Amino acid sequence: MSRKLLTFEEAKHTIESQFKPPMLGEEEAVLLESYNRVLSQDVTAPFDIPMFGSARVAGYAVKSADTSAANDEQAVTLTVAATINVGETPTQPLADGEAVEVAAGAVLPKGSDAVIPLEDAEREDTTLQVYTAARAGENIQSAGYDLKTGQLLLKKGQVLGSTEIGILAALGFSYVKVQKIPMVAILTVSEEATELGKPLAPGKSFDLNGYSLSAAVMECGAKPVYFGVALEAKTEVTRLVNAAIAGSDLAIICTDNPDVTEVVDQIGKPGITVNGVAVKPGKQTATAFVGNKPVFIFPTNPSASILMYQLFARTLVQRLAGRPAAGVRSLPAIAGSRMFSAKGSRTYTLVQLMFDEECRLVADPVEADGAVSALAAADGFVEIAENEQYIDVNQQVMVQLLRGLAAKA
């Protein structure tokens, strides 16, 4: 089929304006298995935390009214009726004229409304001499001082990390309602690629793209469904492409075979919506929609496939997963050498980052002949606009990261 190159902006707009993420529903997950999942409901405190009043300091729980006459010259005498340590539950209410020794953080007996610090009283056996009148509420942490029943803590749509998991545990949630995980099909169509675990014949290489894209999909909160490698025979391609699209919410196909584009176009309407983008690498990138289901066709060059995923598919996968659409992380650096653009195309140059003697972060183009060594060396990529011939030495650039800066340390 004919190819009409779109600009990067045209292709991006065409894809994102047509995409309407479906409602995938929710499911209940075991708390620890909900890590990195998207919360499908607001979470409020089901009870006060703490559920009880407790002693702020070690001392004696009293009724403040019993100490009102105490002063430096005249002590009030109380009877110590019991001792309560942290984690123990009081069994008897506090009677008039009584005190209970409490540890800091211990639950207060019913009827008490103040705690006198140890150093502000004198005790002999069960007799307690109090020389300072206590105020109601003094040295007490009231029930719910941390959280009140009904207080909103986590919002629908939040991604559950370690902090959120801990909060849910504190609230007693052993299960939590989360959004269902979208399924993303990954298929490679190539005569040169071989699936892992199979013998590697001369002239073949293992399917790097299938696994790097699967990992990229997981980073965005979706589940990759790896359909393996299809040889370029049309019947095999048609069968696996149909299966990949039918068995997923979004499909990614890596191939350099133009016939695959025609196969995808014939599966369902509206079919191919982007067939070529004025970018380098990745010029032959195509996208289709089968109903509302997006299908991406990326080149097999490893740098190009992961780059095209980051630029075009990443935000769609995030939206499918119920996450905010977030672009690739980027940071400023200084160009360490001149970087040239391809005429008429938006160019993306793989770079590696290092600090120079002036502690400036410098981006240098990756110098590697092979696809795997280039990816191993690269920290990110620099974009050069269509109307720029080159980026010069010491010019500030934005590096879109492929990995964290500490990944190769």
Tens digit of each residue's pLDDT (9 = 90 or more) over 216-253:
999 999 999 999 999 888 899 999 999 999 999 999 99
Q: Hunting for tokens 């979706």 — which residue is that?
A: 222
What phi and psi, each to the nearest 5 degrees, are found at residue 311?
A: -80, -35
Question: Do 213 and 171 fall within a single domain?
Answer: no
CATH number for the domain that contains residue 312: 3.40.980.10
Closest CA to 295 of 330, 259, 254, 347: 254
**Domain total in the chain:** 4
Residue 3 counted as domain residue = no
Mean pLDDT of 282-286: 97
Average pLDDT over residues 55-73: 95
| Tens digit of each residue's pLDDT (9 = 90 or more) over 360-404 | 999 999 987 788 999 999 999 999 999 999 999 999 999 999 976
Q: Print the domain residue range for 167.
A: 27-49+146-179
In a domain, 105, yes or no: yes
pLDDT given at position 199: 94
Residue with tokens 């630029």: 311
| Judgement on whether residues 174 and 44 belong to the same structural domain of the protein | yes
38-48 CB burial, b ≥16 within 10 A, e <16: bbbeebebeeb
SS3 306: helix
Q: What is the pTM of this model?
A: 0.84
Same domain, 203 and 232: yes
> In the prediction, which pLDDT does 405 show?
58
pLDDT at 369: 76
**In 10 A of CB 133, how many CB atoms?**
17
Choosing from 284, 302, 320, the residue where a domain stops is 320
What integer pLDDT is reported at residue 111 of this predicted model?
96
Predicted pLDDT at 48: 95
Kindly state whether residue 246 falls inside one of the protein's structural domains.
yes
The gap from C-alpha 182 to its chain's centroid, in whole angstroms, comes to 15
Distance linking the first and last C-alpha atoms of the chain: 47
* Together in a domain, 234 and 289: yes
**Contact present, 194 and 229 (Cβ < 8 Å):** yes
Residue 335 CA to residue 264 CA, distance in Å, equals 41
Q: Is residue 103 part of a domain?
A: yes
What is the residue-wise DSSP string for 351-405? EEEEE-TT--EEEEE---SSHHHHHHH-SEEEEE-TT-SEE-TT-EEEEEESS-T
**Given this model, what pLDDT does residue 386 score?**
92
Q: Per the domain annotation, does 390 fall within a domain? A: yes
CA distance 344 to 341: 8
Q: Whole-angstrom Cα distance, residue 341 to residue 3? A: 22
* Residue 407's pLDDT band (cuts 50, 70, 90): very low
> How far is C-alpha 84 from the geometric centre of its chain's CA atoms?
44
Last residue in a domain, options 275, 298, 320: 320
Beta-sheet pairing, 361-365 with 390-391: unpaired
Q: Order of strands, edge to edge, in the sheet holding 127-130?
A: 114-117, 59-62, 98-102, 76-84, 127-130, 121-124
Based on the domain organization, do 309 and 219 belong to the same domain? yes
273 and 388 in one domain?
Answer: no
Measured from the Cβ of residue 224, the count of other Cβ atoms closer than 10 Å reads 20
In-domain check, residue 409: no
- pLDDT, residue 234, reads 85
